[in-house]
Amino acid sequence: METPYDVLEIDADADEDEVVRAYRRRVKDAHPDHGGSLAEFKRVRRAYEHITAGRDPSAFDAHPENGQTGSTGPSRASNGRERADGEHGRGSRDGATPDDGADDDADEEEESLGPTVEYLDYEVVESQGWQLTDEDLFEKAEDADLDVDSHGLLVVEQGETLLEAAERYGFSWPYACRGGACANCAVAVVEGELEMPVSTILTDEMKERGIRLSCIGEPVTDDLKIVFNIERLPGLAELRLPAEQFGNARAGH
């Protein structure tokens, strides 16, 4: 019988860190746009939720279509994406009514995944001598076969900010205020759009360069490419707040 550890392709005695890293790896393999399928993507996500919820591995249900869509796991993954509620991406957030399952498979592929974010660590950009403006930045990252901590995919669930999604994938990206009042959580959006309800802290010039605040930013395009860990970019250091001011702030990953 298949266990969630089998799905993540790790040993049953894997520790928390191994589970998280295996999940990030498998998310990339299983994503429909990267050679996987929606069914496989859901299976991987369900396996991760099963393990992190501390459930009995022998009770793992490998078949999402059998009615186990309302996960009680630690994330919101099941709540937003398992339902069939219109187009994926921003369109699904704005009032589409749940369908009754009559659509064909192609439609389901469209319906069930949220915005996909390809992430890249700025430390890698610097160490490789790359530039944020390089048109082939993410192609180079793909070719470099980087660790999943530095480069990979994550899917943002309904109502999540980018920072919340990253944390659901086990990342500890930097932040301080979590309210749009500093620049600790800033990311550079290279492709796609991350919409912020307020953005008073960032200058117009920064926004034009694609700088966004991950703690309040939600994707409004289906696909984004972002670079995180950009605190050393010119102009951002002055806007950062000392992490010590905030009880649960994170200085970096």
- Quote the Cα angle for 235-118-162, to 5°: 65
Report the run of H or E that residue 106 belongs to, with start and end: helix 105-112
Q: Where are the beta strands (DSSP E) in 23-139?
A: 116-121
Q: Which stretch binds ligand FES (CB under 6 A): 27-35, 115-123, 150-158, 173-181?
A: 173-181
| Closest listed residue to residue 202, CA positions, set 223, 185, 221 | 185
Residue 216 Cβ vs ligand FES, minimum distance, rounded to whole Å: 6
Min. distance of Cβ 161 from ligand FES in angstroms?
A: 9
SS3 80: helix
Q: Which is nearer to ligand FES, 3 or 246 (CB)?
A: 246
Q: Indicate the residue among 176 and 206 with the shorter CB distance to ligand FES.
A: 176
Single-letter amino acid, residue 98: P
CA 190, chain centre distance (Å): 15
Check binding of 177 to ligand FES (CB under 6 A).
yes
Residue 158 tokens, joined: 């309904």
**Residue ranges in 192-251 that form contacts with ligand FES under rule CB under 6 A:** 213, 215
Residue 47 engages ligand FES in binding (rule: CB under 6 A): no
Q: Is 175 in the site for ligand FES (CB under 6 A)?
A: yes
Q: Give the total of residues touching ligand FES (CB under 6 A).
A: 11
Element spanning 152, H or E: strand 151-155
| Residue number with CB closer to ligand FES (176 or 227) | 176
- Whichever of 77 and 183 has its CB closer to ligand FES, that residue is 183
Of 166, 182, 189, 194, which lies in the binding site for ligand FES, with binding defined by CB under 6 A?
A: 182
List alpha helices for 31-134, DSSP H.
38-52, 77-81, 105-112, 122-128
Q: Which is nearer to ligand FES, 183 or 190 (CB)?
A: 183
Quote the least distance from Cβ 199 to ligand FES, whole Å: 9
- The two tokens of residue 145 are 């076969």
Stretch of 2-10, 35-43, 146-154, 181-189 lying at the interface with ligand FES (CB under 6 A)? 181-189
CA distance 188 to 242: 21
Q: Give the three-state DSSP class for 46.
A: helix
Of 73-132, which residues contact ligand FES (CB under 6 A)? Answer: none
**CA angle, 6 then 75 then 17, to 5°:** 50
Contact 154, 165 (CB under 8 A): yes
In the complex, which residues of this chain contact ligand FES (CB under 6 A)? 175-178, 180-182, 184-185, 213, 215
